[in-house]
């Protein structure tokens, strides 16, 4: 009988298509080494047409993996194929973390937990605000909206160029979430305590619009899910206008914590060394 999960070797994965640029192996590899755990975590590219076979092999134990992470374009299919999706990923309609338990594939989504853990670490007290603004209504917005709602923020205004997509999110997440067209951005920002960019604006040097953040509440926090570059154009604007900013890198780091604990039996910590390791890697690929 095994005394500890550390006495045997587990292997975990991150899968997507493509997947070669994922930084998850760097993150989990750091923790495996730091905690002295025998095991592995590697990128495993799977084409969409092969994904159901991959999940079947995971379930039957023939893949060699105990679980792993799922990213684009497999998140929604992973939720559908899982035997035991939890309430979080059922509401989101997407899973990013899988594990095997009693011969069944369990699924959850840790993106929202990563988002709020990042804010907790870098902007303590952010959740005391009553109103948040989310720019963007794409797939990344779902976990953000769910997590902010579940922390008790009473009003979440989702602003999007296509208002119908924002309306889909308000229908999904309930009466605290409200849909608005992009033209209403300045109006709904007035007095808000949290501004979240959940679009790809500013990613990899792309241009971003000028935004007047001064209409936000005094002491408001501005955050971005984009982390390349670390300080996006929108974050630079907000900082220049006197607001506290939180970059998106911590979301990537913190969302990885629950999965690692599930697969390897120890809860890791996001520390300054790990953050710098990923920043250095970002710089080497710039």
Contacts of 263 (CB under 8 A, 6+ apart): 10, 12, 39, 41, 66, 67, 68, 99
Distance CA 150, CA 280 (A): 34
| For range 236-260, the mean pLDDT | 98
Both structure tokens of 145? 């909206």
Q: What is the pLDDT of residue 114?
A: 97
Residue 271 banded pLDDT, cuts 50, 70, 90: very high
Which tokens go with 100? Answer: 């095997």
The Cα–Cα gap between 198 and 147 comes to 13
pLDDT at 5: 43
- The mean per-residue pLDDT over the stretch 255-278 comes to 97
What is the share, in percent, of the chain residues with pLDDT greater than 90? 90
Is 213 in contact with 241 (CB distance < 8 Å)?
yes
Identify the band that residue 284 occupies on the pLDDT scale cut at 50, 70 and 90. confident
Q: Mean pLDDT across the chain, nearest whole number?
A: 94
Active site residues: 75
Q: How confident is the model at residue 6 (pLDDT cuts 50, 70, 90)?
A: very low
pLDDT of residue 144: 97
pLDDT tens readout for residues 178-207: 999 999 999 999 999 999 999 988 888 788
Query: What pLDDT does 286 receive?
Result: 60
pLDDT tens digits for 139-154? 889 999 999 999 999 9
- Does 177 have pLDDT greater than 90? yes
Checking if the pLDDT of 2 tops 90, the result is no
17-60, pLDDT tens digit by residue?
999 889 999 999 999 999 999 999 999 999 999 999 999 999 99
In which band, very low, low, confident or very high, does the pLDDT at 90 lie, cut at 50, 70 and 90? very high
Helices 249-264 + 272-284 axis angle, to 10: 120
Can you give the pLDDT at residue 139? 85
3-state secondary structure the chain: CCCCHHHCCEEEEEECCCCCCCCHHHHHHHHHHHHCCCEEEEECCCCHHHHHHHHHHHHHCCCCCCEEEECCCCHHHHHHHCCEECHHHHHHCCCCEEEEECCEEEEECCHHHHHHHHHHHHCCCHHHCCEEEEECCCHHHHHHHHHHHHCCCCEEEEEECCHHHHHHHHHHHCCCEEEEEHHHHHHHHCCCCEEEECCCCCHHHCCCCCCCHHHCCCCCEEEECCCCCCCCHHHHHHHHCCCEEECCHHHHHHHHHHHHHHHHCCCCCCCHHHHHHHHHHHHHCC
pLDDT of the residue at 285: 66
């Amino acid at each position: 009988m095994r005394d500890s999960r550390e006495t045997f070797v587990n292997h975990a994965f991150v899968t997507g298509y493509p997947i070669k640029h994922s930084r998850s192996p760097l993150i989990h590899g750091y923790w495996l080494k730091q905690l002295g755990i025998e095991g592995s975590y590697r990128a495993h590219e799977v084409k969409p047409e092969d994904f159901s076979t991959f999940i079947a092999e995971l379930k039957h134990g023939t893949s060699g993996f105990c679980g792993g992470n799922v990213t684009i374009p497999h998140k929604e299919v992973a939720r559908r194929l899982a035997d035991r999706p939890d309430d979080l990923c059922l509401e989101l309609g997407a899973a990013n973390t899988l594990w095997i338990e009693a011969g069944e594939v369990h699924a959850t989504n840790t993106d929202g937990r990563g988002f709020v853990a990042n804010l907790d670490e870098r902007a303590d007290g952010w959740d005391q605000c009553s109103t948040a603004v989310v720019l963007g209504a794409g797939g990344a917005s779902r976990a953000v909206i769910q997590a902010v709602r579940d922390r008790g923020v009473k009003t979440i205004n989702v602003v999007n160029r296509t208002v119908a997509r924002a309306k889909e999110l308000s229908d999904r997440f309930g009466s605290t979430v409200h849909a608005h067209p992009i033209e209403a951005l300045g109006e709904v920002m007035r007095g808000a305590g949290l501004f979240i960019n959940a679009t790809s604006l500013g990613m990899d040097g792309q241009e971003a619009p000028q935004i007047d953040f001064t209409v936000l509440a005094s002491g408001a926090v501005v955050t971005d899910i984009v982390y390349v570059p670390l300080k996006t154009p929108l974050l630079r604007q907000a900082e220049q206008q006197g607001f506290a900013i939180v970059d998106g890198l911590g979301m990537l780091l913190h969302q990885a914590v629950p999965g690692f604990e599930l697969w390897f039996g120890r809860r890791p910590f996001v520390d300054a060394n790990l953050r710098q390791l990923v920043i250095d890697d970002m710089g080497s690929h710039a």
